[in-house]
Amino acid sequence: MKYFKPTIYQKTIFDIPYKKLKKENIKLLLFDLDNTIIPFYDEIVPLKTKEKFMDLKKDFTVVIFSNSRKKRVKKIASQLDVFYLSFAKKPLPFSFKKILKEYDVRKDEIVIIGDQLFTDILGGNKFNIKTVLVEPLAIKELFITKFNRFLEKICFKKLSKKYGFEKGKYYE
């Protein structure tokens, strides 16, 4: 169960304590795409999000780290002018390893930010990096995600019993 507990839990990507992460010597931010940066059905990045990423790029290397296919990930990454890795197969470790090599960073210098316990958080924790959970931007989802959400609910219940980690109870 410990693999499902995020290091940080916030409502949206705008609420994450980036300054604190910078102080902790984080150099690279891995962002999940769907339902973390934009809803899974959207293709246009809102201005507010673009501005946030412009800010973040001053302090960090920013990489979109998504299980989605290249066409979609590339489209969003180009609007934000950030790096990307598509078809990442989270929670498996291969793409995480690739990131360390490609960007010449250590595990303690990167963090993964995402909305799903079973891909983003599990993958990051297993790989032994900092993890940030945010609430999903869209409710209507693909069937496979729906199934994951069902498992997440059970997971949240168990986590709250063991670690006092509850849905909507944010912490840094």
List residues near Mg ion by CB under 5 A. Answer: 32, 34-36, 115
Amino acid at 66: S
Nearer to Mg ion, 26 or 88 (CB): 88
What are the backbone dihedrals phi and psi of residue 110, each rounded to the nearest 5 degrees, phi first? Answer: -125, 160
Residue ranges of the alpha helices (H) in the chain?
A: 18-23, 47-59, 70-80, 94-103, 122-126, 143-163
d(C-alpha 167, C-alpha 118), whole Å:
15
Least distance to Mg ion from the beta carbon of 155, Å?
16
Question: Token pair for residue 69?
Answer: 């296919």
Least distance to Mg ion from the beta carbon of 25, Å?
26
d(C-alpha 139, C-alpha 62), whole Å:
26
Nearer to Mg ion, 34 or 109 (CB): 34
For residue 61, the SS3 value is strand
Least distance to Mg ion from the beta carbon of 106, Å?
25
- List all residues 6 or more positions away from 84 whose beta carbon is below 8 Å from its beta carbon: 63, 64, 65, 66, 73, 74, 76, 77
Least distance to Mg ion from the beta carbon of 172, Å?
21
Nearer to Mg ion, 59 or 118 (CB): 118
Least distance to Mg ion from the beta carbon of 33, Å?
7
Which element (helix H / strand E) includes 130? strand 130-134
Nearer to Mg ion, 88 or 99 (CB): 88
Nearer to Mg ion, 12 or 162 (CB): 12
